[in-house]
Chains A and B, each alone.
Chain A
Amino acid sequence: MRKKRNKGISKVIVLMTISLSMLMLVNNTFEIISSTFNGLENTVLSRRLEVQMDWEEYYEIGEEVFNKLSSFENDHILGVYLGGYTEGIIDGNNECGVTYISEKVLEEYMNKKNFKLKDNEVILPKYENVAGEYIERKEEEYIGKNIEYTVYKKQYTYESEIQQSPTEEILDEKVYTLKVVGLYDNAKSALGGIIVSEKNLMEMKDFSKPGQSDNTKVYMVSDLTAVHVYITIDEYKNAEEVKESVDTILKEYGLDASTHEFGATDEFHSLRAIKLLANIAASFLLVCATLSLFSYIKDMMNRRKQEFGIMKAIGYKTSGICKTLIKELVLEIVIPLGTAFILGIAAVVAADIFLKNNFDIYEYAMFDIKLYGNIAALVFGIAAGLPILGYTLTIIKINRLEPMEALK
């Protein structure tokens, strides 16, 4: 009975360590999947720290700044977004703006989707924003069909300082007929509106004012009252460098750029904080479990000193005792943890491949699964290493003991 009990305790502790390691891994995987499913747009916007400029002037100045920034060459700038009150060509009134996406980002996206646009073709966002909700477009409803787009040129004016919404006046309108050749993930719409063919783009550019950069291929055609420009950059770490470059342009207009994380809702921040705390708690528990395991093994070995004394007394050589301990170590620690380690890494790799294949946004995800995989691997390593160290130290200690000393 005792034998079974002791073996049971040992296994429970080892399994607890493995479970906690797995918990951490699963938690992180869940975190990534969750961000990919639930917070695509926010994730992108949060990932890409933005340089924001606010002003209270009308769109003319914003448009000018936007055009200047759109043609501004900087390897770290992925896109420039001119935000404000606007009339979108697809969704009607909304609070979008004009977006410029750098050639680099656009080409990358088009290549990935294998899109080759001809004249009069368009790629639509897979989701459209209607009344703040995301509704999936049905592919069969759109692909291969012609869609008419009416592009308005509107003028928004405030007749008094206390007026909250501007008065709109349609100055001109033009209808385009475009054939839908593809749908793209809504996450990309965080970067802009529709993707149109070169020819249509040129026509649209002729018609509407904002975003008339030579590089502009992603375009939301509208007039707008600009209230802010965001510059989307590739990595947080490059924000300051970009800001410094941008500042020289902004000074011409007497504007200051400020960097901040944009687009993350309170809920998203809370979720992220909870996950972070969960990770910390899981890591803490894991360390505690590992230390307990280590101290359990150490204690177990001390208690087994007598057993080794008996073995020596009945004629076991040092090598024989070592062999027994190593066999035990391999069966009870190395194999279970090694298996868990391999399974953990396999889970990380599988999740990585799955996410990469299914979510374009994944590469922009806030959480790097490979990094977390490495952390998990490290944790497994520590979890496996400590007991091995415990066993090794005990073996060294016991081998130095004379049989009588061990029996005392």
Chain B
Amino acid sequence: MEYIMELKNINKTYVKNNKEKLEAVSDFTASFEKGKLYTIVGHSGAGKSTILSIMGVMDKPTSGEIYLNGVKVESLSSGEMADLRMKTVGFVFQHYYLNPKKTVADNIILALKANPENIKSQYREKTIELLKKFSVDKYADSYPDELSGGEQQRVCVARALANSPDIILADEPTGNLDGENEKVIMEYMKKLTTEGKTVIIVTHSEKVMEYADVVIRMENGKKVR
């Protein structure tokens, strides 16, 4: 079986005021296959977002091993990690985190610029292509706050795909959306798996879980199922 990502015995402990220790993730082991949609569910404080950050190489585990496309992450320098993150992982956030001072197109271009392999003259064309895929191309020259929540989230998904990553990590991507928009976003997410992408979503929503191929439950920082 080919895994796009493997996490082995991941622990993450936060130390408060140099004394109090908070174990956010404890002995988390999981493997993720290509082309599947995973949801990580659990109560608030269960460690879902922490494990998602660790998967996306945005946060370092206290101990444990992470393999992304067969590469052991801990052995990489911060520059190599940034490269790996850019090429392998795309992020979708609950609060979108689109730069309000840039147009929709410029937000996508910002992601394209991060990859030196992208050709400058093709930025715009590639951006429009991505936006078209999520039916928001007509907003290319608008600013994010001129778009609805659902539209912003679609832009966010488009941005996550800018550098053709193998894995999409989404932290409560539908948390701010109504039922209709939640459905639209999840259908897009599901569609991505048909293109061979692995989608991992942290969620509270039962409806989102319905789209999952695999549901991972967490409690008190531990994987329970």
Instruction: List residues of chain B with CB within 8 A of the CB of A319.
Output: 79
Q: How far is the CB of B106 from chain A (nearest CB, A)?
A: 9
Q: Is B86 an interface residue (CB 8 A)?
A: yes
Q: What is the size category of the interface that chain B forms with chain A?
A: 20 to 34
| CB pair B86 A315 closer than 8 Å | yes
Number of A-B contacts (CB under 8 A): 67
The 4 closest A-B pairs by CB, nearest first: A315-B86, A315-B114, A403-B58, A317-B82
The residue in chain A whose Cβ has the minimal distance to the Cβ of B165 is A315
Q: How far is the CB of A226 from chain B (nearest CB, A)?
A: 78
CA separation between A318 and B163, bound complex, in Å?
A: 18
| CB pair B143 A315 closer than 8 Å | no
Q: What is the size category of the interface that chain A forms with chain B?
A: 20 to 34
Which of B28-36, B97-105, B121-129 is found at the contact surface with chain A? B97-105
Given contacts A2-B145, A313-B56, A404-B59, contact A318 B78 (CB under 8 A): yes
Instruction: List residues of chain B with CB within 8 A of the CB of A322.
Output: none
Most B Cβ at <10 Å: residue of A1, A314, A319: A314
Q: How far is the CB of A319 from chain B (nearest CB, A)?
A: 8
| CB pair B79 A317 closer than 8 Å | yes
| B81-112 Cβ-contact flags toward A at 8 Å (1 or 0) | 01101110011010001011111000000110
Q: Chain B: residues with CB nearer than 8 A to chain A?
A: 53, 56, 58-60, 78-79, 82-83, 85-87, 90-91, 93, 97, 99-103, 110-111, 114-115, 143, 145, 159, 162-163
Q: How far is the CB of B19 from chain A (nearest CB, A)?
A: 20
| CB pair A314 B53 closer than 8 Å | no
Most B Cβ at <10 Å: residue of A1, A402, A407: A407
Instruction: List residues of chain B with CB within 8 A of the CB of A310.
Output: 97, 99, 110
Instruction: List residues of chain B with CB within 8 A of the CB of A306.
Output: 97
| CB pair A404 B58 closer than 8 Å | yes
| CB pair A320 B59 closer than 8 Å | no
Instruction: List residues of chain B with CB within 8 A of the CB of A407.
Output: 93, 97
| CB pair A314 B101 closer than 8 Å | no
CA separation between A320 and B110, bound complex, in Å?
A: 11
CA separation between A402 and B14, bound complex, in Å?
A: 14
- Can you spell out 9 A-B residue pairs with CB atoms less than 8 angstroms apart? A313-B58, A314-B114, A314-B159, A314-B163, A315-B86, A315-B115, A317-B78, A317-B79, A403-B53
| CB pair A2 B143 closer than 8 Å | yes
| CB pair A309 B97 closer than 8 Å | yes
| CB pair B101 A2 closer than 8 Å | yes
Instruction: List residues of chain A with CB within 8 A of the CB of B101.
Output: 2-3, 6
| CB pair A320 B114 closer than 8 Å | yes
| CB pair B59 A315 closer than 8 Å | no
